[in-house]
Amino acid sequence: MRIVFFGTPEFAVPSLRALLRERYSVVGVVTQPDKPQGRSRSTLVAPPVKAEAERSGIPVLQPVRPLGDVFLAGLRRLEPDLGVVVAYGHILRPAVLSVPPRGMLNVHASLLPRWRGAAPIQHAILAGEPETGVSIMRMEEGLDSGPVLHRAATPIGPEETAGALAARLAELGAGALVDALSLLTSGLAKPEPQDPVRATFAPKIDRESARLDWRRDAGALARQVRAFDPVPGAWATHAGAALKLFGAAATLERGEPGCVLAASERLVVGCGGGALAVEEVQPAGKRRLPVSEWVRGRGIAVGEQLA
């Protein structure tokens, strides 16, 4: 079976590696363009999936958007039988979905129909879900609404961050993809339609959704910190500047919302219910560092206010 693979970030790399390890014929990779980085923006950095493809000698397409006659012609020249999509970052139009005669499969980081959309990992943590997983679904025009071929579940650890969970789900998804392809090629796949009544949605994360509101319960704020670690980083303001917080846990201490109750090895801040204890911070324009180091540098003291 000739497969064209759509993906961009590190999350997608285990799935591409699994296809190659299982000796599937990956005839092309579609990923996003190289991104300029560095202070002068003069250094171009390739997406992780591109680097993996080039190591294996696989042709790479990098359209700004997967649209138009030129891109479609390049995709058709690959003559794929099936498409596999893993965290590509663009919605694929019907003209693209229809190129492989056996359709397109998507590796989605949730147990569909829960958490359809761009940020399922973050929203599962925010909601306090006890478990999540990956779903291998057949793509259609709707948002993550296609029938599911295979699911694999995993518990969410009580202190697990989005970054740590994403790494686990990337490996889980790679194995689930191989299982789904085995079912498909053997004729044993039984696509299960999703129940739209049970669907929940996980919209893209923006900076404002990562802002902490100290009037909320400490447990909810601890989940928010974990959900946005490492990026974009849950944040508040201190002395008029943004301050990102990491390594948070809810405590039973009490105090005015936003007031610093302790500042030593941990930063403890009053909330609407309980208090939030934080182990690491990232002041604006600086690196991520332990709270104890920030306190020694006189970055903050008991009685100061976070907004």
Contact 15, 173 (CB under 8 A): yes
Q: What is the pLDDT of residues 8-51, one digit of tens each?
A: 999 999 999 999 999 999 999 999 999 988 776 778 899 999 99
pLDDT tops 80 at residue 273: yes
Radius of gyration of the chain measured on its C-alpha atoms: 22
**Cβ-Cβ contacts under 8 Å for 187 (sequence gap 6 or more):** none
Note the pTM of the prediction, 2 decimals: 0.95
Neighbours of 220 (CB within 10 A): 18
Q: What is the pLDDT of residues 166-222, one digit of tens each?
A: 999 999 999 999 999 999 999 999 999 999 999 999 999 999 999 999 999 999 999
Contact 102, 122 (CB under 8 A): no
Predicted local confidence at residue 43, as pLDDT: 86
Predicted local confidence at residue 37, as pLDDT: 83
Contact 79, 22 (CB under 8 A): no
**Cβ-Cβ contacts under 8 Å for 34 (sequence gap 6 or more):** 44, 45, 46, 47, 50, 62
Please give the domain boundaries of the chain with CATH numbers for all domains.
2-198 (3.40.50.170), 208-296 (3.10.25.10)
Stretch 42-64: mean pLDDT: 94
Predicted local confidence at residue 38, as pLDDT: 73
Stretch 106-119: mean pLDDT: 98
pLDDT tops 90 at residue 233: yes
Predicted local confidence at residue 39, as pLDDT: 72
Stretch 90-103: mean pLDDT: 96
Predicted local confidence at residue 226, as pLDDT: 98
**Cβ-Cβ contacts under 8 Å for 176 (sequence gap 6 or more):** 107, 134, 135, 136, 150, 151, 152
For residue 249, list its beta bridge partners. 277
